[in-house]
Amino acid sequence: MIQPLPPEIFKNLAEENRKQELLYKNKCSQVGWLRLTLFIAGVSTVIYLFRQDLNSAAWVSLLLFYIVFIVVMRWHQRLRYTQHHHSFLKRINNEETDRLQGKLLAFDAGERYANPQHLYTSDLDIFGKHSLFQLLIRAVTFIGKDKLANWLQTPAKAEVILERQAAVAELAPQLSWRQELQAKAMHYKQDRQDSSSFFEWLHAPDFYRNKLWLKILIFVLPALTFGTVIAWWLDEISGYFVIGLMLVQYVLNIRYALFREQYYEQSSGMYEILKSYTVLLTHIETHSFQAKKLVELQQQLRIKQKTASEYFNELASIIEYISARLNVYMNLLLNSTLMWDYFWMYRLEKWKKTMATNLEPVLQVVAETETLASLAAFQYANPSYTLPELSPQAFEVQAEELGHPLIFVVNRVTNNLSMAGPGQTLIITGSNMSGKSTFLRTVAINLVLAFAGSAVCARRFRAFPAQVYTAMRTEDNLAESTSSFYAELKRLKMLIDLTATGTAIYYFLDEILKGTNSRDRHLGAQALIRQLHQQNASGLVSTHDLELGNMEEENPDYIQNYSFNSTIEEDKILFDYKLHPGVCNSFNASKLMQQMGIQME
């Protein structure tokens, strides 16, 4: 039996969840009317019984109607949750279809991670509109998004890459589990980008340090207050005793108002995020994993005979109770009789003593699992892609049918590539728009994917792990009075300084030294390539300077020429976008200028 391809699977799942969403929407509507009917019937019955002086029956009816109403309300909430869950699953599958079609604008572009000074992210469209981040991201939490961004910015070591690959390979076919992970987190708002400040604040010194007397009052004062209220109600004591105890709590509230406000402000808005972490942790804790990386992550979620999800659920409840002060009347009542804020501040600090050292590891489990799930979803959606092999040979890159993952066409043009050894330079010449720059980006972005632990856009891919470096989109900067040529020189200086550290570098230099005259460009490019040959580096250089190709004759041991060509048929310029050995032998600049209206002789 032929298995359906991902596009068909996503389409079918989206339709199935659309039907389920509609089904539960109708059920919610019916139960909603039932709730309203129960409420009206309950109120009418109780009022009627009271008017008939059937007080006992009225109170019993009130209790019964209340219990039934609560049961129906919770039933309604479960139905509403299920309806929203199917809505999220429908959206997830529609988004998978959009990604396959190259419709990326609706996804998080990760522009907050953009850094023009980074070694390669700006040149390779790692972040921003129509970026690799948009293509990969399935994480819902901000820590998950941060983790994916970090993996795309920093190549991992070989052993880490292999662990990630094994985890991705295990998660890729587990479509239902991955989509459930994503949908469960979508039930909760993730509108606070910098939740890290809250978790950092949890490591701050305790408010109750050296305040044993206040800890005692937390339990003693509320008990005394309630006791005196009851005694006053029974006419056993004067009401002044009640007022006196409430005044004591009022004075304490004024005395430590700043601390109470700080606890509220730091925790404000965290309830939804903590609940999302709780459901994600539960989903991870209850699954069975085989890959070493996934098993190790799961093992970190068992802390002192309890699961991490239980601790986070407890924290979410504490934060919810602290937020009760939002209601002015509840705040006045609770803090004047129960020392409400102080009690939950105490509970929070007690929670911190257990979880302070375990907090960061638990958050990293959530972040890494979401990131691995994102890479797995990418691999599942593109079954023709492959997990790369890691080569022990320095700077070996062997690729078959290598394509750019951000080019979304039915017949994507692919190329083969072979290089190995330090100090190698592949010089890529070619006519305008023939594909030189795209090819450099294709090789580089697939190396970035490979070193993050992801599948790559190729039939076969083998590479030696090393740092990627690019110099492609250097622009002038009026604010800094920097010309485009000087900006490129600064970029090349960064490369030279980096290679001087001994770091293994793959470099990708597009239209090298394009901002100066042809003679200086030629001499400078030659000098740079010879200098890089002496370093722990290899890479690709694209250029219009055909004479640079002559370096292969002088140095065939470390320079190879490749090219992209075009043909002209009547008024049309045709490109095959295929990599050919040797220097470019076809040109189209004159024809392009003619098409733009420039009268060429």
- Name residue, tokens 């993996």: 151
Tokens at 436, concatenated: 């030189």
- Angle (CA) 515 519 520, round 5°: 55
Tell me how far CA of residue 256 lies from CA of 208, 249, 260, 385, in angstroms.
11, 11, 6, 60
Tell me how far CA of residue 339 lies from CA of 219, 263, 317, 325, in angstroms.
9, 14, 17, 12
- Name residue, tokens 């979620």: 301
Dist. CA 388–CA 390, nearest whole Å: 6
- Give pLDDT, residue 192: 58
Dist. CA 198–CA 193, nearest whole Å: 11
Q: What is the pTM of this model?
A: 0.86
Tokens at 80, concatenated: 């509403």
* Portion of the chain with pLDDT greater than 70, in percent: 91
**Tens digit of each residue's pLDDT (9 = 90 or more) over 367-380:** 999 999 999 999 99
**Tens digit of each residue's pLDDT (9 = 90 or more) over 193-245:** 556 677 777 777 778 788 888 888 888 888 888 788 888 888 778 877 778 88
> What are the φ/ψ torsions at residue 80 (nearest 5 degrees)?
-65, -40
- Give pLDDT, residue 592: 45
- 3-class DSSP state for residue 486? helix
**Tens digit of each residue's pLDDT (9 = 90 or more) over 465-510:** 999 999 987 654 444 444 677 777 888 899 999 999 999 999 999 8
Torsion of CA 136, 138, 142, 145, to 10 degrees: -20
> Residue 595: which pLDDT band, with cuts at 50, 70 and 90?
low
In the predicted model, is pLDDT for residue 95 greater than 90?
A: yes
Dist. CA 318–CA 321, nearest whole Å: 5
The answer to whether the beta carbons of residues 549 and 583 sit under 8 Å apart is yes
- Give pLDDT, residue 263: 76
Dist. CA 255–CA 191, nearest whole Å: 33
Tell me how far CA of residue 106 lies from CA of 96, 410, 538, in angstroms.
12, 22, 37
Please state, rounded to an integer, the average pLDDT across all residues of the chain. Answer: 87
Q: Where are the domains of the chain?
A: 1-101, 196-207+256-372, 389-595
- Averaged over 413-421, what is the pLDDT? 94
β-strand pairing of 559-564 with 425-430: parallel
Tokens at 385, concatenated: 């892609």
Dist. CA 334–CA 353, nearest whole Å: 26
Tokens at 315, concatenated: 């924290």
**Tens digit of each residue's pLDDT (9 = 90 or more) over 23-56:** 999 999 999 999 999 999 989 998 988 888 888 8
Strands (E), 8-59: none
- 3-class DSSP state for residue 209? coil
CATH homologous superfamily for the domain 389-595: P-loop containing nucleotide triphosphate hydrolases (3.40.50.300)
Query: What is the chain's alpha carbon radius of gyration, rounded to the nearest angstrom?
Result: 33
> Residue 392: which pLDDT band, with cuts at 50, 70 and 90?
very high
- Averaged over 142-159, what is the pLDDT? 95
In the predicted model, is pLDDT for residue 328 greater than 80?
A: no
